[in-house]
Amino acid sequence: MIRRVTLDLPRRFFAKMSQNSAAAPTKTSKLQVSLKTPKGTKDWADADMVIREAVFSTLSSLFKRHGGVTIDTPVFELKEILAGKYGEDSKLIYDLKDQGGELCSLRYDLTVPFARYVAMNNISAIKRYHIAKVYRRDQPAMTKGRMREFYQCDFDIAGNYESMVPDGEILSILVEGLTGLGIKDFKIKLNHRKILDGIFQVCGVKDEDVRKISSAVDKLDKTPWEAVKKEMTEEKGQTEETADKIGEYVKLNGSLQEIHSTLSKDPVLSTNELAKQGLEEIASLMNFTKAFGVDSYISFDLSLARGLDYYTGLIYEAVTAASAPPEGASELKKKAKSEEDDASAYVGVGSIAAGGRYDNLVNMFSQASGRKSNQIPCVGVSFGVERIFSLIKQRHASAAIKPTATQVFVMAFGGGKDWTGYLPERMKVAKELWKAGIEAEYVYKSKANPRKQFEAAEKSGAPLAVILGKEEYLEGKLRLKRLGQEYADDDGELIDADDVVKIVKQKLLSLHEDGVDEVTRLIKGI
């Protein structure tokens, strides 16, 4: 739908041209602008936009159901606020140009701005949700919903609470969110940073190497073990033996019960302090995931590491069959030209929701700003709406979804030399309907013929027409008619002009009382 014309031609031209529109380019002009959106971004419109708004509305209702309040932070933050939070991904941050004043960057996620907000306002407890755009200078894969500008829908719980209680509810929210959007065949890969760090310790990784080894492990979902091992030994200075030991642990996955039991019996790991703490937390968590009825979705997967620096406890990612790269991805990638604009052919949708616990981030801000220490543990989940959207779109065509809300089309029929077309009169009727909250349109033309008006009405998707007949209107009457092919022969009913709002309202109520609309059907997958 979105067409792109990429013309790599001198800039500056347009500024000059538009200062004086008489100087518009002639046909021989070679100076042109690119009529496109920036790489990795797109316009949203029509049925796509209606579906996306319905997804947002479904998720906001979910978040409110769990006691969430919403906040809105600026799209850009001081550069220093974002610095050092994203590990190897920091290179993907968009900076604003230095035009004098503060140095700023576009937000990379909603989590760091949230922690900044909590620290800045000395908040001790909050459940907040935030649906907003974030920015990453990554290689885009547009049809897989991997973009440079994309929405995140986040729910986070901040506050000092009993261990794993909020974490359990966040996992329930993750499941409720995805199933509420008609996604049933997903699993939640779950791990614990303390257990992972404990594994690295007992395998012989030095403390200062832990984060970089963790980010090597994080690649296991798209990279075979041999390549990851090579990265650990050749690039990241680990011994063959250490790497092999890690390899044994990270291949473990299964239910919470199974892996918890396996690790608890492990004679080496069970003596490690970090791993012990992590395993105790998993034991508590099992009570809560059972109470919420979500344990069947969870796979305890020791290869999950998550790239971001700030996680300190539980980490998780929801994946579906579409998350993995397509078959033969690495061959496809090799074949792709280096100037390839989009990676859709050789990447998967990736995780569709993810999150974890980050207990130090708020305090990091409090301390770095010279305030007194303020330890506010946090846990949250982020839904990747564009990725989820790409799954919803695959379900079935969205052709049946009309982008306007128009309910009534106001028309006038007449003829003869003295026929004015009743334009101001149509406006008056429309205004009455608007005042009563009813969506109404009319054709922007004094004398529009009936066919043109019916065509416009059909395009709007309105189910009802209110017709001003040349003679009838003078007698204080309007004609109310159902629209649509099946009512072509129906002349409708004559009503008193004074009753139009009342009668239209009744008619619309009776039209809409039967069931589920197309958007709901599409997003809930029913």
| Whether 172 contacts 188, CB under 8 Å | no
Nearer to its own copies, 104 or 495 (CB): 104
Q: Is 406 annotated as belonging to a binding site?
A: no
Q: Is 89 annotated as a binding residue?
A: no
Long-range residue pairs from 66-71, CB within 8 A, at least 24 positions apart, any chain: 66/127, 66/155, 66/169, 66/173, 67/127, 68/127, 68/128, 68/129, 68/155, 69/126, 69/127, 69/128, 69/129, 70/128, 70/129, 70/130, 70/131, 71/114, 71/117, 71/128, 71/130
Q: Has 316 been labeled as part of a binding site?
A: no
3-state secondary structure string, 328-383? CHHHHHHHCCCCCCCCCCCCCCCCCEEEEEECCHHHHHHHHCCCCCCCCCEEEEEE
Tell me if residue 487 falls in helix, strand or coil.
helix
CA distances (Å), origin 519, targets 121, 385, 391, 525: 39, 16, 15, 10
156 annotated ligand binder: yes
Q: Is 252 annotated as a binding residue?
A: no
Provide the minimum distance between the beta carbon of 79 and its own copies in the complex, in angstroms, as a whole number: 7
Q: What is the closest distance, in whole angstroms, from the C-beta atom of residue 207 to its own copies in the complex?
A: 9
**179 marked as binding residue:** no
Burial category of 497 from C-beta neighbours within 10 Å (exposed 0-12, middle 13-18, buried 19 and up): middle
Determine whether the annotation assigns residue 152 to a binding site. yes
Rounded to a whole number of angstroms, the minimum distance from the CB of residue 45 to its own copies is 4
Least separation in angstroms between residue 445's CB and its own copies is 5
In the complex, the smallest distance separating the C-beta of residue 188 from its own copies, rounded to whole angstroms, is: 17
Nearest-angstrom CA–CA distance, 152 and 75: 13
Minimum Å distance from CB 138 to its own copies?
A: 12
Nearest to its own copies of 153, 250 (CB atom): 153
Nearer to its own copies, 80 or 499 (CB): 80
> Which CB atom, from 121 or from 449, has the smaller least distance to its own copies?
121
Q: In the complex, what is the shortest distance from the CB of residue 208 to its own copies, in angstroms, rounded to a whole number?
A: 8
Q: What is the CA radius of gyration of the chain?
A: 29
251: DSSP letter: T
Q: Is 110 annotated as a binding residue?
A: yes
Q: In angstroms, how far apart are the furthest CA atoms of the chain?
A: 99
Is 358 labeled as ligand-binding?
no
Residue number with CB closer to its own copies (302 or 429): 429
Specify the residue, 222 or 393, whose C-beta has the smaller distance to its own copies: 393
Amino acid identity at 375: Q
Contact 224, 330 (CB under 8 A): no
Closer residue to its own copies, CB minimum distance, 12 or 265: 12
Distance separating alpha carbons of residues 302 and 361, to the nearest angstrom: 24
Beta bridge partners of residue 180, listed in sequence order: none
- Cite the annotated binding site by residue number: 109-111, 136, 152, 156, 306, 310-311
- Cite the annotated binding site for L-histidine by residue number: 109-111, 136, 152, 156, 306, 310-311
